[in-house]
Amino acid sequence: MHPAVKTTDLTKTYGEGETEVRALRGVSIEIPRGELAVLLGPSGSGKTTLLNQIGALESPTAGSVEAEGLDLNSLDDKGRTAYRLHSIGFVFQFYNLVPTLTARENVALIAELVDSDGLERTEAVLARVGLADRMDHFPGQLSGGEQQRVSIARGLVKDPPLMLCDEPTGSLDVESGVAILELLREVTRDGDRSVLIVTHNAVTAKMADRVIRLRDGQVMSQETNPSPADPEQLDW
């Protein structure tokens, strides 16, 4: 069985000459299926760059990324779009919901891209993230936590094997943040879905199955956590 993600000697360089920045320097990691992994590191450590490589939002300068048995380097733009559509669910710090669409419609917009049964799945997913009675609200009528739930539902509705979350609690208060982490923890429990959370908040690491620490574009450590804490127990 393939791991959810495997990177090998991944290198990413931006710019040239004096302005060259080496964001990733030979990063090799592996995230097995069904795990919740946390990518930790200070600002500028390369964690978002790594997330972008795994999410096929950027191409590496050298090295490879394998996900779902695919070598992402071999994909053209169309292939990368299809990969993101079917294999990846994104959650961003700033939700980026379409303000003119309701919660249901924001999720259905993506569900429709996958197949025609999107609407039924949309309602189920929104119910699962606790928004059964808020589906027809527009983003402007939802709290930040609720908007992030819609954003998670938007990622989940495609039923992707991998959820990539970039600072998902960065804009939320503690209570909402905990709720979101609980939700992300929970989504790894159905089947073998993996979740990769990028954060600079070390506390989050306690709830992870696997913690990868990055610094200056290099993996400093990669360890598993035999008894991950419940998000509620985290000391914020």
Partner 1 sequence: MSYLSTKRRRDMGRQRWQFLAVFVTITLGVMLFAASYDAFLNLESSYSGTYERLGFADVTVTGADDTFPAAAASIEGVATVEVRRTADVPFRIGADVLHGRLVGMPPDQQPLVNEIDMTSGTYLASDTPNGLVAEEHLAEYFALAPGDRIEVLAGTTWSEGPVVGTAISSEYLWPAESRQNFFPPPGTFGVAFVSEDLLAAVPATAVADQTVIRYAPDADRVATDAAVERAANAAGAADVTTQADQPSNAGLKLDLQGFEEMAIMFPALFLLAAGMATFIILTRVVYSQRPQIGTLMASGVSRRLITRHYLSYGLILGFAGAVTGVILGMLLGWAITGLYTDALGIPDTVRGLHWITPIVGLLFGIAVGTLAALAPTRAASRLSPAEAMRGETPTQDGRPSLAERLVPPLRKLPVRWLMVLRGVGRNRRRSLSTILGVVLALTLVLASWGMIDTVVNLLDRNFNEIALEDADVFLTVPVDRDAVAAVASIPGVQRAEPVVSLAVSARGPDGSYGSQLEAYAADTAVHGFDTPEGHLPDTGVVAGKALESEIGLSVGDTVALSLPTLGASFSTTIAGFVDEPLGTRIYMERAALERALATTETPLPTGTLEDPSISLVKAIFDDDVDRTAVLDTIESQKVTAAVIDSRGLYEMFQDFLGFFYAFVGIMLIFGGVMAFALIFNTISVNVAERKGEYATMRANGLSQRRLASLITGENLLLTALGILPGLIVGYAVATVFMQSYSSDMFTFELDMNWTTLVFSAVAMLLVALLSVVPAIRTVRHLDIASVVRERST
Interface residue list for partner 1 (CB under 8 A) = 48, 52, 55, 57-58, 77-78, 81-82, 84-86, 88-90, 92-94, 96-102, 105, 108-110, 112-114, 138-141, 154-155, 158, 166
Nearer to partner 1, 103 or 211 (CB): 103
CB of residue 230 vs partner 1: minimum separation in angstroms?
A: 28
Q: How far is the CB of 217 from partner 1 (least distance, A)?
A: 16
Q: Is residue 84 exposed (0-12), middle (13-18) or buried (19+ Cβ within 10 Å)?
A: middle
Q: Cα separation of 73 and 66, whole Å? A: 8
Comparison of 126 and 231: residue with beta carbon closer to partner 1: 126
CA dist list (Å): 54 to 57, 142, 161, 199, 210: 8, 30, 13, 16, 16
Q: Whole-number minimum distance, CB 207 to partner 1, in Å?
A: 23
Nearer to partner 1, 53 or 188 (CB): 53
Q: How far is the CB of 122 from partner 1 (least distance, A)?
A: 9
Kindly tell me the burial class for residue 17, based on how many C-beta atoms sit within 10 Å of its own C-beta (0-12, 13-18, 19 or more). exposed
Indicate the residue among 167 and 209 with the shorter CB distance to partner 1.
Answer: 167
Min dist. Cβ of residue 158 to partner 1 (A): 7
Smaller CB separation from partner 1, 79 or 191 = 79
Concatenating the DSSP letter of every residue in 156-200 gives: HTT--SEEEEESTTTTS-HHHHHHHHHHHHHHTTSTT-EEEEEES
Token pair of 35 as six digits: 């795990």
